[in-house]
Every structure is written in C-alpha cells, then in structure tokens.
Structure 1
Amino acid sequence: MERLPFVYILSSGRHGTLYVGVTSDLLKRLHQHRNGTTGGFTKAYHVHRLVHFEQFDDMPAAIAREKQLKAWRRDWKVALIERGNPEWADLAIGFGFEPIR
C-alpha cells in the first residue's frame, strides 16, 4: 500500500467507543494502535478495531475530513460506519492483521 493520507475510525466493538484519526501510513498506525504503542485514549479504552477508512490524495484534505468527522454527532458517525460496514467487521483483517480477541 502506498503512503497516502487516510482518515480512519476505530471502535472498541459494535456500537462501542469510537476514535477518529488521520495518518499518512495506515498500516503503521494500525500496528501502533493494536499494540498499544500510541498510548492515550485508544489504549485506555481498548479502541483497536478498524471499522471505517477513507483515502485522500493529500494531507490537507484528509485533515479537513478528520476535523469534520470529529465534529459530527455520534449517530452520524454510526450511520457512516453502518453504510459501508453494517456488521462492524474489523477491516484491518483485510490488511493482514490478526483478529482481535
């Protein structure tokens, strides 16, 4: 996978705690979240399942989208996730990550 900007949403489980982030290296960032090396919110609340992501051509566009999503109400974020991932499957598995227990 090329190093392109991504906005992503992690969840602790179906309808669980949500985290919105932006990165230029999605695989590296997923590895950091899943191994707890990022610390902070995602580690404290066990928010490690990739439930939504969007790819962008440039970082300013990705950052603008991240800010937009962070300002959204929770029910709007849930609707966004469920439009593309109604089962809240861990999309990181499609990138070769092991399922979370």
Structure 2
Amino acid sequence: MQKGGHVYITTNKTHSVLYIGVTSNLINRIWEHKNKVHPKSFTSKYNCDILVYYNFYPLIEEAISIEKSLKDRSRKYKIDLINGLNPEWRDLYNDLTSE
C-alpha cells in the first residue's frame, strides 16, 4: 500500500532562493533541512529552511508528478502559489509541530 506525499517549498531568510521537494514525512523532512542533516545538499548550501508552502496528495506518485511540474514553472508562478496560501511567507513548520 502506497501512502501519500507532500509537495513543499522552502526558502531562505531573504526569499531569494526557492526549493521544491516531495516527501512522505513532511515534519521530519523539514526538520532535516533546518538541522542541515545533509550538509552538501542544495538546501543546506543556500539555507533553504523556511517552509512557506505545502500541499498533501493521497498518492505519492501524484505528489512526485506535481513536484516535477512545479519545477518547470516560472518563479512568478511559484511566488503566486506561495502568496495564495501564505501571503506573509511565515514559516509553516511551526504550525505543523504545534498540532
């Protein structure tokens, strides 16, 4: 049985870099970004540890497909997507961990 997955976007403090990822365990994955568990990764190098967008999909295959399509979209499209959910660009990780 396949479980679902989240597509998520992280950024850095200045919002100059956006990272799009997919995971079946969002809280754990963002914790890894924040703690630089993979020090040579893109997110560690560019300090992308602020979760500004996420969406759940019931099938992991669907989440992977959406992630790939988002990566092909323009920066403006991604910013509009974030602004639609999180116009203040708050770190949504805190909301996840307080539930």
Length-normalised TM-score, structure 1: 0.88
User: Any conservation in 1 of the 2:4–2:57 contact (CA below 8 Å)?
Assistant: yes
Write out per-residue CA displacement over residues 39-91 of structure 1, whole angstroms, 9 at most, x where no aligned residue. 31100111000000010101110000000110011010001000111110000
Length-normalised TM-score, structure 2: 0.89
| SS of structure 2 residue aligned to 1:36 | coil
Please name the residue that 2:94 is paired with.
93
Please name the residue that 2:70 is paired with.
69
Identical amino acids, percent of aligned pairs: 37
Please name the residue that 1:19 is paired with.
19
Letter in 2 for 1:22: V
Indicate how the Cα distance of structure 1 residues 64 and 24 shifts in structure 2: closer, same or farther if over 3 A, else same.
same
Q: Distance in 1 between matches of 2:15 and 2:46?
A: 14
Please name the residue that 1:10 is paired with.
10
Q: CA deviation at 1:14?
A: 5.2
User: Any conservation in 2 of the 1:10–1:18 contact (CA below 8 Å)?
Assistant: yes
| SS of structure 1 residue aligned to 2:22 | strand
Structure 2 stretches of 5 or more lacking a match? none
Q: CA deviation at 1:38?
A: 2.6
User: Any conservation in 1 of the 2:27–2:97 contact (CA below 8 Å)?
Assistant: no
Structure 1 stretches of 5 or more lacking a match? none
CA RMSD across the alignment: 1.4
Q: CA deviation at 1:95?
A: 1.8
TM superposition outliers: structure 1 runs of 4+ over 2 Å: 13-16
| SS of structure 2 residue aligned to 1:9 | strand
| 1:48 equivalent in alignment to 2:15 | no
Mean Cα displacement is larger for which, 9-18 or 60-69?
9-18
